[in-house]
Amino acid sequence: MKYRKKPVVIEAVKWNGKNLKECNEFIDGKEIHLKTTVDIWKWDEYCNIVEDQGGIIIKTLEGNHLAKIGDYIIKGIKGEFYPCKPDIFELTYEEVQSE
């Protein structure tokens, strides 16, 4: 049997390695996990830890996944977050024009 994905509008942000604050705000700061605890006021230190890890660790329904530079962070239809490789994202989604 063949199946077609139902048309659904999702929200996403592309992690470019420099927009950590935007990504953190997009997921309400709840799903990014670091290997080290950092005081919220030490933003530069926070950025350095993310850089050392090679990306952002996103807590997903299937466990923690690493979003590397260029990956999209998607908010799913149930409010969950997960990273998606850019080639898969571009094959699966297209930008919705505002009405």
- The helix or strand, by DSSP H or E, that contains position 22, with its residue range, turns out to be helix 20-26
pLDDT score for 42: 61
Name the band, by pLDDT with cuts 50, 70 and 90, for residue 45.
low
- The helix or strand, by DSSP H or E, that contains position 73, with its residue range, turns out to be strand 72-75
Q: What is the pTM of this model?
A: 0.75
Which structure tokens are listed for 9?
């509008």
Which structure tokens are listed for 24?
């953190």
Name the band, by pLDDT with cuts 50, 70 and 90, for residue 84.
very high
Letter string b/e over residues 65-89, b meaning 16 or more CB atoms within 10 A of that residue's CB = bebeeebbbbbeeeeebbbbeeeeb
Residue spans of the domains in the chain: they are: 11-92
pLDDT at 30 exceeding the cut of 70: no
Q: What 8-state DSSP symbol labels residue 64?
A: E
